[in-house]
């Protein structure tokens, strides 16, 4: 193994869709909502349940089961990023994806982009590895502290989780 390469991400949110779906149970159902008279005739609502963790992703916005499956998968990846930590040690090394998306200490990725859940998982793992010291996590990820806080704050549940852990440790609350 080449030691100059960053370690790969070992979080389920980093898996490609096929690999992640292999660990999931897919359930379809009828769901009410916009779509007119055809809405409740076909099972277009999709729920994905990640078997190892029990974390779920759900979507029923469209009349297309395929579109709902893609949205449910994205939401599952996001929930996994927020609620599952895969921190093995206090050592934090930015992945190749993180290095690609973090240029000049700025994290460039929309919260709707496919890469966002993997980046969020990496950011939250780094914060966890550094005992919720965001300044140290940002330094390890080669970004500014304010950029890391703003990135995490894009998902209010993630910021709330970080603040709850910081409060338990007697650290001050992070503001978006």
67-84 pLDDT, tens per residue? Answer: 999 999 999 999 999 999
Q: What is the length of the chain?
A: 176
How far is C-alpha 6 from the chain's CA centre? 20
Mean pLDDT, the chain, as a whole number? 89
**Measured between alpha carbons, how far is 4 from 46 in angstroms, rounded to an integer?**
41
107: phi then psi, degrees, rounded to nearest 5: -95, 115
**Measured between alpha carbons, how far is 75 from 58 in angstroms, rounded to an integer?**
7
Q: What is the pLDDT of residues 134-162, one digit of tens each?
A: 999 999 999 999 999 999 999 999 999 99
CA neighbor of 42 nearest in space, from 34, 33, 31, 58: 31
Higher pLDDT, 162 or 40: 162
Give the least confident one: 9-13, 93-97, 146-150: 9-13
Q: Is 72 helix (H, G, I), strand (E, B) or coil?
A: helix
- pLDDT of 173 strictly over 50: yes
- CB 142, CB 38: distance < 8 Å: no
| Beta strands 102-103 and 56-59, pairing class | unpaired
Q: What is the pLDDT of residue 15?
A: 92
The residues of the chain that CATH labels 3.30.160.20 are 12-83
Q: What is the pLDDT of residue 41?
A: 61
Mean pLDDT of 123-134: 95
Mean pLDDT of 97-125: 94
Q: What is the pLDDT of residue 37?
A: 58
Output b/e per residue, 37-56; b: 16+ Cβ within 10 A: eebeeeebbbbbbbeeeebb
- pLDDT of 36 strictly over 60: no
- CB 44, CB 63: distance < 8 Å: yes
Task: Among 3.90.550.10, 3.40.50.300, 3.20.19.10, 3.30.160.20, name the CATH number for the domain at 12-83.
Answer: 3.30.160.20
| Beta strands 102-103 and 106-107, pairing class | antiparallel
What is the torsion angle, in degrees rounded to the nearest 10, for the CA atoms of residue 90, residue 15, residue 112 and residue 106? 40
Give the least confident one: 40-54, 72-86, 114-128: 40-54
């Amino acid at each position: 193994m080449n030691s100059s390469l960053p370690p790969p991400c070992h979080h389920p949110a980093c898996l490609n869709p096929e690999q992640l779906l292999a660990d999931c149970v897919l359930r379809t159902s009828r769901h009410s909502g916009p779509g007119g008279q055809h809405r409740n005739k076909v099972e277009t609502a999709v729920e994905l349940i990640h078997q190892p963790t029990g974390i779920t992703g759900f979507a029923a916005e469209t009349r297309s089961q395929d579109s709902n499956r893609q949205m449910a998968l994205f939401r599952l990846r996001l929930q996994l990023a927020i609620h599952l930590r895969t921190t093995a040690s206090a050592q934090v090394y930015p992945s190749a994806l993180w290095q690609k998306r973090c240029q000049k200490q700025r994290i460039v990725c929309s919260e709707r982009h496919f890469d966002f859940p993997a980046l969020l998982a990496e950011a939250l793992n780094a914060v966890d590895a550094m005992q919720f010291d965001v300044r140290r996590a940002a330094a390890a990820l080669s970004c500014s502290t304010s950029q890391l806080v703003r990135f995490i704050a894009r998902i209010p549940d993630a910021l709330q989780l970080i603040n709850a852990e910081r409060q338990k440790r007697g650290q001050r609350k992070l503001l978006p």
